[in-house]
Structures are given as C-alpha cells and as structure tokens.
Amino acid sequence: MFGCTICLASRANSPLSRTCELLKILNKFYKRNEMQKIAADQGLDARLFHQAFVSFRKYVLEVSTLSADLHIILNDICCGAGHIDDLYPYFMRHAKQIFPMLDCMEDLRKISDLRVPANWYPEARAIHRKVIFHAGPTNSGKTHHAIQRYLAAKSGVYCGPLKLLAHEIFEKSNTAGVPCDLVTGEERTFVDAEGRQAEHVACTIEMCSVTTPYEVAVIDEIQMIRDFSRGWAWTRALLGLCAEEIHVCGEPAAINFVTELMYTTGEEVEVRNYKRLTPCSILDRAVESLDNLRPGDCIVCFSKNDIYSISRQIEIRGLECAVIYGSLPPGTKLSQAKKFNDPEDPCKILVATDAIGMGLNLSIKRIIFNSLVKPNINEKGEKELDTISTSQALQIAGRAGRFSSIFKEGEVTTMHRDDLPILKEILSRTVHAIEIAGLHPTSEQIEMFAYHLPDATLSNLIDIFVSLSQVDGMYFVCNIDDFKFLADMIQHIPLNLRSRYVFCTAPINKKQPFVCTSFLKFARQFSRDEPLTFDWVCRLVSWPLVPPKNIKDLVHLEAVHDVLDLYLWLSYRFMDMFPDANRVREIQQELDSIIQLGVRNITRLIRATETSATPGTDPLSNQRRPGPSPVSPRKVRGAPKAQDSGVEAGQLDKSLGSRLVQEGLLTPDLLRQLQKEWSKEHRQEEVGVKLVAETLNNKIKGKKK
C-alpha cells in the first residue's frame, strides 16, 4: 500500500506489539469457515490452507520488518477499526509465495483432469472392439479358453500380472508352433534370429503396447484393476489396447464393473461363465501338528520367518520340503515347483507364501493355512495386518486339486483348530464386487506440471498432481508412496525430469537396504554421464559370489539378484548408459543357480543360523525373542521422522539401526555393512542417505512378524 516497511522496533508501544492479541486475531482468521471456503476456490485445500496459515503466522510474529499495508491492517483490527476478513488478501499473497502453483491453478487443474481416461487412447477409440469376459473361479479353464483364441489369431498380445505367467504363455505359444516374443520390464526375447518382432507377444501388463494393432488381446486377472498400487496398468490395457477382440479373464465379481466401464467407450461385453473343473472341499478338522502332514500338502504362510521355522520343523521329522516365497528369483521358484511336482523326488511337502496364488502349476492335494492374518497396503499407503479377504482365500485355496495335476480333488484346512471356523466363514462369503479402477499420472502430465512449477521437486509435483486431480466415481488415483520414496531418495542427485521420472518408476524392493544403496549409486553414476559397465556392476555386488552359509547370506543374495534386475530394467530405458545387459544377465543366471542351491539346502542354512545365534535370541533373525503378542487386525502408521530419532546424514544411528534389526528389516551384519558403505559416500549424498533412513524409519511400524 505504502511501498515501504516499518521496523517492529519502532512500534514498541503500539497495540500491534502485544503478541497475545496478534495470536488471537490470527487464530480467529484461521477458524473462519468463510475464509477457508474462499481459499479453497483459489486452490488451497484444507491441508494446504493449514500449511499456508502456519507459515503466515510465523511470518507475522517473527519477521523483523513487516510490509506497511499489512502492518496498518493489523493495527486497525487491534484497535477495532478493521475486520478479521481484511487479512485475506495478505494471507493469499503470502500463500502464493510458498505455493507458486496458486498462480497457475486453472492450467494445473486442466492437466490433472482424469475424469475421462478413455479419451487418452485415440487409436483404441478409432476401432470397434469386441470384449469377451471369461469369468470363473481358480481352475475353471477360463484363461485356457482365452489363450486358445489367442493362439488361433493372426496376431495377439497376452498381458499377465507376473513374469512367470508371461514366460508360461511365451513357452506354450512357441511350443504350439506360434512364434511369440517375450517382453517384461527386465527382458526382451525375440524368437526371430535377426530380431524382427513376432506377430504374437507375451508380456507383463505394464509393458503392453497401446499403439500396436492386434487381432486378439488377453488381459489376465482383471480383478487386479482395483489394486491400490498396480490397478492403473489393467485400466490402461482395458481402455487402450488396439485389438479387434479383447479377452478378459478373472473373477465374476468384476463382470458388472467391466460392463459399465465398456459402456463409457460404446463397447458391449459378452460374458462366458465357467465352473471349477475339479471339486475342492473344506475339511472338518485342522491339521494341528506337523506330524499329520501327508504327501501333496502345501502349508501357506504370510511371513518368511514362518517359512523358515516350519521348514526346519519338517526337516527335524525326517521329511523333505520345497519352499516358495515372493522374493525368490523366478528360476528358483520354478526349480522348487519342479522338485515338488516330480513324482520321483522324495520332496512331497511344500511350504509357501501366497506367491503360489498365481503363475505356478503345482500338484497340491491339500492347502493348509498356517495363519489367516496377512499384511496389506490400503488406499492411503498404510500397512495393515488384517484377516485375508474372501478373494485372497479363494485364490489360494483354489490351488488344491488342479485339473492338470495328479490330484483330481482338492482339500482345504488350517494348521490351528481355532482358525478353521474362521476360514469356513471367510470362504462362505460373497466376494465384494469391484467398483473402482486405478489411474496413474503419466510422465507427460508431470512434465507439463514441471513447466508451470519449475522449482518444485518431483515428489512435490506428484503431491500437487494428486491433490488437484479430478476423477469420477469409477476411478481412483493409485498409491504413489513407492514412487515418492525413490523421488525423495535421489532428489539431491542432478537429473533431468524425464530421467528422474523413469528412475522413480523402477520396481525395487525398498525393504532391502542393499538395493536402496545400489539404486542411489546407479543414479549418481548416471548423473555423471558415466556408463554403468559390467566391471562397475561386478565391483558393486562383489562378484563372484559364493553359495550362502546361512539365512543372512541367502537374504543378501536375493537382494543382489534384485540389484541385477534393476540394472536390466534400466538398460531397456537407457541403453547407452547401461551397455552390458547381456553380460549382467549371464551372471544373474549364475546367481539364480547359487540361490537355488541355497534354497535346496535351506534347512542346513537354518541350522547354521541357529548355531550362530546368541542365547535368548530368535535364531532366524538373531534378535531377542519377543514376548507373546495378540495376533489381531490393526493399522500400523509411520514412525517418527528421522530428525526426531537422531539420524545423521551418512549413517544410521544406533537407535534407528537397532530398531531396524529388531523389526527384521536388517541383520546386524548388513547394518554394519550399510554404515561402512554410507560413511564412504561423498558429502553431496548426505541428504539422500538421510531420506533413505527416514523413509525406512517411517516404514518400521508396517513390519509385524
């Protein structure tokens, strides 16, 4: 107003100098619903309004000089000559300084408008597609019928949720004399010797092309369209594939939703229902003891420690068992499945997580649930321990008595007597109908945001995008916590926006500290424009590696396998900077063999771990044994921030490190190795390492044995 500022020292005797009155005025402004509503129209939702107010209050109370116009308005309000609402223009002026997007809100809202995603795929809208829904339970032959049409077509694409499923269709197609390529995040296999693309391709669903024309497309496990993390990939495939026929396979619970979704594209859905090919019954008795195991049994656990413990107890009884869990390499999973399926092999028992729910053909007679409580990620990205859903229970139970196995009838029960009535009640429920589909911001949308907000970090761009995004009732924005985790980790590393975005979409196991530190080193080397050569990777992972001597060694080898997966994934996005994909794949195959050897001898590894454990500790994690705790569904929220727990840049402090060890996220050896590695990092990485520690710390409470 006056173009000058007034020093607070010169107004010592004015009403404005009374801090208590200033606080009362500011708090009254904050509580005015009318002000919040007006601010919301300008783009300040409740969260941003609160942040802006806190900053504005701090500015008013602590700044050494105050602009003349704001000084006069505050004096007038103190003297009763002004109204609290008169603060609004000055509050908004301050808000626009800390939230620059408020000046271009209209453009940002247009960019983040996700209400009509069908219009994102003009090639698909240009043709009239025939949509056929193959609906049925596990082991009903629904996918088989879709694949038969796929094999008979002149061209086709299979889209599956797992690499193992894509591999299976790839092999089945080529065995049937239909040339087929394989495309996953980490692998491209062309059957043509000169690298020409075949007319058929089997791929993981994230990798399907929405611009290539096909006669037939198969989308498997369509119910995953509502998955809080990956649902966007099924939405993209269903709306965007350019195929004359779209064959959708999945649970009947998705029929009505897919029909409604296709109504928005003007396409009708033909439904084909299937029934289970073999009977599967729920037994009236629990197993209760491992002494009661029989050939063809599969014990399903929801934690790796339970797998280790049960495997050891089975071995004590003189029996052999195979083990399958999610973090094992695909080759090791197939090796263990082959061992269990082989009638000539003495191994007749399988101990597995719900990783067997998709992608493996197993000769299981009886599914035994060791527990009915499983960790899940909700729509807010929070980890919950809850009883398994009916859909999950049916998916796992349906693996018993598969049509192609030697057991023509399946059985389902629990290990513990008290769980059996709960399982029966779960399986008797109707599966909840699917009502929403996932969406995810594209790199192009984020680049447009960055044009308007050049100083915002990638993590902040994502936050702003999600807060402004508009979706109709059929859609939701998928959880982006993993993306933000990686964005925060490499924020201090100089990368252009497109490269940074690609790095942050990499699929990594953020629970593995070695994988996280390797990801940091990949990004740093890339930012220096220095190629990540085979020799560089070998030094990073200390190749060659030896067979594991205990469980800790096995866990580390699995992490190394993930690091090599990360290299291969990035090599298809940045070929010049990751030039040695073929050589890395060769040592990854050797590593898979080493891990297979370790898993075949897993009971020996467990014994070695028990021997090295100190008295009074859990031998599988070398931790102090906890007291009994109730196993009940509960929500686990984040831990205190790193600055509150004493995490210093470049290292994990003793407090955080001990908690990571106690929660099973680190072993003592890995902790020492991490501290040693991170202490050698350049000072420019200290911020990034702090972010790694903070993010791990925030996830601690999501870990429950």
Q: Are strands 349-352 and 410-414 parallel, antiparallel or unpaired?
A: unpaired
The better pLDDT of the pair 231, 105 is held by 231
117-273 and 280-428 in the same fold: yes
Rounded CA gap, 524 and 113, in Å?
34
Q: Are strands 366-369 and 410-414 parallel, antiparallel or unpaired?
A: parallel
Judged against a pLDDT cut of 60, whether residue 88 lies above it is answered with yes
**C-beta separation of 188 from 249 below 8 A:** no
Give the mean model confidence (pLDDT) for residues 166-182: 95
As a whole number of angstroms, the longest Cα–Cα distance in the chain is: 96
Element (H, E) at 65: strand 65-67
Judged against a pLDDT cut of 70, whether residue 506 lies above it is answered with yes
pLDDT of residue 123: 94
Return the closest-CA partner of residue 688 out of 551, 567, 516, 569.
516
Tokens at 27, concatenated = 């708090």
pLDDT in tens, 651-675: 344 445 555 555 555 556 655 655 5
Judged against a pLDDT cut of 50, whether residue 209 lies above it is answered with yes
Residues forming beta bridges with residue 366, ordered by sequence position: 297, 411
Instruction: Band the pLDDT of 695: cuts 50, 70, 90.
Output: very low
Instruction: Band the pLDDT of 623: cuts 50, 70, 90.
Output: very low
Estimate the share of the chain in helix, then strand, then coil, as percent rounded to the nearest 5: 50, 15, 35
3-state secondary structure of 313: helix
**In this structure, CATH architecture of domain 117-273:** 3-Layer(aba) Sandwich (3.40)
Q: What percent of the chain has pLDDT over 70?
A: 82
Q: Domain boundaries in the chain?
A: 15-102, 117-273, 280-428, 480-609
pLDDT of residue 672: 60
Tokens at 239, concatenated = 């709306």
pLDDT in tens, 296-337: 999 999 988 899 889 989 988 989 999 999 888 988 998 999
Return the closest-CA partner of residue 465 out of 484, 437, 486, 491.
484
Identify the burial level of 136 via C-beta atoms within 10 angstroms of its C-beta, where 0-12 means exposed, 13-18 middle and 19 or more buried. buried
Q: Which segment of 172-176, 179-183, 614-618 scores lowest on mean pLDDT?
A: 614-618
Polymer length of the chain: 705
Judged against a pLDDT cut of 80, whether residue 56 lies above it is answered with yes
Give the mean model confidence (pLDDT) for residues 197-203: 96
CA dihedral in degrees (698, 700, 702, 704; nearest 10)? -170
Judged against a pLDDT cut of 50, whether residue 9 lies above it is answered with no
The type of residue at 116 is V
**C-beta separation of 153 from 215 below 8 A:** yes
pLDDT in tens, 407-422: 889 999 999 999 999 9
Q: Which segment of 24-38, 88-102, 383-397 scores lowest on mean pLDDT?
A: 88-102
**C-beta separation of 58 from 98 below 8 A:** no
Return the closest-CA partner of residue 497 out of 511, 487, 506.
487
- A 10 A CB-CB count for 276 gives 17
3-state secondary structure of 188: strand
Judged against a pLDDT cut of 70, whether residue 650 lies above it is answered with no
Q: What is the DSSP string of 606-644?
A: HHHHHHHSPTTEETTTTEEPPPP-----EEE-PPPPHHH
In our burial notation (b when 16+ CB lie closer than 10 A, e otherwise), range 564-601 reads: bbbbbbbbbeeeebbebbeebbebbeebbebbbebbbb
Pick the CATH number of 480-609 from 3.60.15.10, 3.30.70.3170, 2.60.40.1220, 1.20.58.1080: 1.20.58.1080
Q: What CATH number labels 15-102? A: 1.10.1740.140
pLDDT of residue 603: 75
Give the mean model confidence (pLDDT) for residues 42-53: 81
Pick the CATH number of 280-428 from 3.40.47.10, 3.40.50.2300, 3.40.50.300, 3.30.590.10: 3.40.50.300
pLDDT in tens, 342-365: 999 999 999 999 888 876 789 999
Return the closest-CA partner of residue 191 out of 202, 148, 45.
202
pLDDT in tens, 123-170: 999 999 999 999 999 889 999 999 999 999 999 999 999 998 999 999
The type of residue at 303 is S
pLDDT in tens, 598-616: 988 887 887 777 666 555 5
**C-beta separation of 666 from 699 below 8 A:** no
Q: Is the entire prediction scored with pTM above 0.85?
A: no
In our burial notation (b when 16+ CB lie closer than 10 A, e otherwise), range 68-95 reads: ebbbbbbbebbeeebebeebbebbbebb
**What are the backbone angles phi and psi of residue 678, rounded to the nearest 5°?**
-70, -25
pLDDT of residue 194: 85
